[in-house]
Amino acid sequence: MLNRRRVLTLGGLTVGGAAAGLLLPKGTPPHVQPLADAHMGGQLAGTDMAGMMHHTGAVPAAAPPPPVTPFTTAMPVSPVLRPVARSSTTDFYRLAIRPANLEIFPGTTTPLLTYGGLFPGPTIRARTGRAVQIVYTNGLADGSNVHLHGGYTPQDSDGYSMDIVSPGASRTYRYPNLQQGATLWYHDHAMGFEADHLYRGLQGFYVLEDDAEAGLRLPSGEFDVPIMLRDAHFDENAQLVSDWPAPRETVLTNGKIQPYFPVAARKYRFRLLNAANERLFKLNLDGAELIRIGSDGGLLPAPVPETELSVASGERTDFVVDFGKVGVGKQLVLSEATAGPVLRFDVVRSAPDPSRVPAVLRPLPALPPATVTRDITMSFDFSGATPLALMNGKTFDPDRVDYRIKRGTTEIWRIHNADAAPLDHTFHVHLVQFHVVDRGGKPLLPVDAGRKDTVFVAAGESVAVQATFGDYLGKYVFHCHFIEHSVMGMMGQLEIVP
Ligand SMILES: [Cu+2]
């Protein structure tokens, strides 16, 4: 029987190919070859694929990456992208999708795919009610596109999986920003390539702010800090290795390994994004209070003090830390349950603090009663020579519309993870923010609160969500945001119709 290490060795040629976007030959239009024909490699038949798909970091890589001394690199904060022009209604931007060699391990560089030569990409700061247009130019050798994750976006700007920007081409994405303030993010979503493209760095923040939120006097400006957490597997030369489902033992915090971040002794707002392809992060800050204020779709109704944050791939959680309670000269370490320390905050100076965390943040009105209920099942099928990743028993087919939804309809989707541990999933649907209304009859998780576009569904679990579908017509996808599952076929599509 093949053991785990043996399978990892094979992985570079088989599953690794899938993770590298080699489900399809390079240069082949993604729609030419159904995902079910993916070159997953018959060599994997009979191996414990399910057992492998759980990243615990327990199995060391054959050749470990270069050592990094913890807390010797400052955590960068991605710069805010400057508009190239402004009109009375719209901010205009340009952004290149291109390769870049960036320093992750001190003293050497790692080839990445980037937005604007940065990882994470530059942060786009937008205002509710004010439109944004971004011209993206694809400087990659493969097709690419851009999805605004969590955005209420017209179909032709959604980054629909089959709507590809060809190598060398440019595309204008238009975001009307007709939704409340929220920590959104932008990332690649090109059919067949998205797992590899996200893994190699095509990710950035899109922070939407609104007037009501600004009036709350939450920490803002330099005290409002996006933090992108993700994991990766590097070889001894600091090169990214795509050998999913091998463990990815290195966590990157805004693109650096175990950085430190100097802070003032006052309140900060952090916008935490789990941008890992496939991971559940459980975080604590040396037991300090983490005041949760926001979820995927914006502010919670009221702040929730916690000491641990659980955030799965694709989810965001906004929280406030009051370093004024810690004191100058002290440090707090943000640690992850399996990865250990990922970031150290050094309280280095005092500062005035006019910010506050009000007891009431933003109402969460109930949605209209649902008139349609659907059951959606995510599962793997290991019975054949090639493992299949399924949504409702089928792999994704761009020519099949799974659900036609009349615009404005409120629906309940009961989402089932039919797999056994450790095969967890996260469910993401484009276009809408939903409310989590049930978690198998058990109490909802803290991270389920507020408006959501991505929800964690552990092995064997069922989660019900309620959403009102808006006015934009056309096809949008829903999928597992453990993105290798998605690229293997765990994706479906809806069509909003008049
Ligand atoms: Cu999944």
CA 482 to ligand 1 centroid distance, Å: 5
- With a CB cutoff of 8 Å and minimum separation 6, the contacts of 269 are 218, 219, 220, 223, 224, 225, 293, 318, 319, 320, 355
- Both 209 and 232 in a single domain? no
CA of 422 to the centre of ligand 1 (A): 11
Strands 491-497 and 403-406: parallel
Judge contact between 269 and 223, C-beta under 8 A: yes
pLDDT of residue 70: 98
What mean pLDDT do residues 451-457 have?
98
User: In terms of DSSP H, where are the helices of 409-489?
Assistant: 483-487
Please report which confidence band the pLDDT of residue 245 belongs to, taking 50, 70 and 90 as the band edges.
Answer: confident
Note whether residue 74 is domain-resident.
no
Three state DSSP letters for 216-240: CCCCCHHHEEEEEEEEECECCCCCE
Q: Which two tokens stand for residue 53?
A: 């798909």
pLDDT at 23 > cutoff 60: no
Is the pLDDT assigned to residue 28 strictly greater than 90?
Answer: no
Per residue in 256-265, pLDDT (tens digit) is: 999 999 999 9
188, 202 contact by CB (below 8 A): yes
Query: Residue 393 contacts by C-beta under 8 Å, 6 or more apart in sequence?
Result: 377, 379
Specify whether 209 is located in the same domain as 246.
no
Rounded Cα–Cα distance for residues 291 and 302 (Å)? 10
- pLDDT 10s digits, 335-391: 999 999 999 999 999 999 999 999 999 999 999 999 999 999 999 999 999 999 999
User: Could you tell me if 111 and 200 lie in one domain?
Assistant: yes
Rounded-to-integer distance, Cα 161 and Cα 428, Å: 14
Residues 255 and 171 in one domain: no
Domain CATH number, residue 195: 2.60.40.420
Task: Please indicate, yes or no, whether residues 239 and 184 belong to a single structural domain of this protein.
Answer: no
Q: Answer whether residue 138 shows pLDDT above 70.
A: yes
**Same domain assignment for residues 298 and 346:** yes
Q: Token match 């932008």: residue?
A: 186
Ligand 1 midpoint to CA 455 (Å): 11
* Whole-number Å distance between alpha carbons of 33 and 45: 21
pLDDT at 112: 98
- Residue 259 has a pLDDT of 98
Res 26: pLDDT = 34
Q: How far is the CA of 490 from the centre of ligand 1 (A)?
A: 7
Could you tell me if residue 1 is inside a domain? no
Indicate if the pLDDT at residue 29 is higher than 80.
Answer: no
Distance, in Å, from the CA atom of 380 to the CA atom of 417, rounded to the nearest integer, reads 9
Residue 23 lies in a domain: no
460 plus 435 within the same structural domain: yes
> 195 CA to middle of ligand 1, Å?
12
Of the given ranges (21-25, 156-160, 486-490), which has the lowest mean pLDDT?
21-25
Q: Rounded mean pLDDT of 81-107?
A: 98
- Domain match, 332 and 209 both: no
Ligand 1 geometric centre to CA of 142 (Å) = 25
Cβ atoms within 10 A of the Cβ of 214, count? 12
Average pLDDT over residues 453-479: 97
Would you place residue 86 in the very low, low, confident or very high pLDDT band (cuts 50, 70, 90)? very high
Q: What's the pLDDT at 462? A: 97
> What is the percent of the chain where pLDDT is above 90?
85
Q: For residue 365, what is the DSSP state?
A: P
Output the CA–CA distances (angstroms, integers) from residue 129 to 126, 301, 441, 455, in the order listed: 9, 21, 38, 27
- Residue 6: pLDDT band with limits 50, 70, 90: very low
- Chain segment 263-303, per-residue pLDDT in tens: 999 999 999 999 999 999 999 999 999 999 999 999 999 99
Q: Structural domain of residue 276, as residue ranges?
A: 228-350
SS3 of residue 436 by DSSP: strand
Of 141, 190, 144, 195, residue with least CA distance to 19: 195
Mean per-residue pLDDT, 144-169: 97
**286 CA → ligand 1 middle, Å:** 31
State the distance from the centre of ligand 1 to the C-alpha of 170, rounded, in angstroms.
31
Q: How far apart are the first and last CA of the chain?
A: 55
SS (H, E, C) 253-306: ECCEECCEEEEEECEEEEEEEECCCCCEEEEEECCCCEEEEEECCEEEEEEEEE
**pLDDT above 60 (res 310):** yes
Distance 275 CA to ligand 1 centre (A): 15
Cα 6 to ligand 1 centre (Å) = 24
Establish if 444 belongs to a structural domain: yes
Within 8 A by CB and 6+ apart from 203, the residues are: 115, 119, 120, 121, 185, 186, 187, 188, 228, 230, 275
Using 50, 70 and 90 to split pLDDT, how confident is the model at 393? very high
Q: How far is the CA of 485 from the centre of ligand 1 (A)?
A: 5
pLDDT exceeds 60 at position 36: no
Predicted local confidence at residue 407, as pLDDT: 97
Cα(460) to centroid(ligand 1), Å:
12
pLDDT of residue 17 exceeding 50:
no
- From the CA of 391, how far away is ligand 1's center (Å)? 9
The answer to whether 8 and 49 have CB atoms below 8 angstroms apart is: no
Give pLDDT tens digits for 417-428: 999 999 999 999
If you measure from the C-alpha of residue 492 to the centroid of ligand 1, how many angstroms do you get, rounded to a whole number?
A: 13
Ligand 1 centroid to residue 426 C-alpha, Å: 6
Q: What is the pLDDT at residue 246?
A: 87
Between the CA of 419 and the centroid of ligand 1 the distance, in Å, is 9
Does residue 282 sit in the same domain as residue 312? yes
What pLDDT shows up at residue 62?
A: 66
Which burial class, exposed, middle or buried, applies to 443 when counting CB atoms under 10 A from its CB (0-12, 13-18, 19+)?
exposed
Look at the chain and report how many structural domains it folds into: 3
Report the mean per-residue pLDDT for the chain: 89
Ligand 1 (ion): which residues have CB within 5 A? 425, 480, 482, 485
Helix (H) or strand (E) holding 174: strand 170-175
In this prediction, residues 198-225 reach a mean pLDDT of 97
**Distance between Cα 60 and ligand 1 center (Å):** 24
* 64 within some domain: no
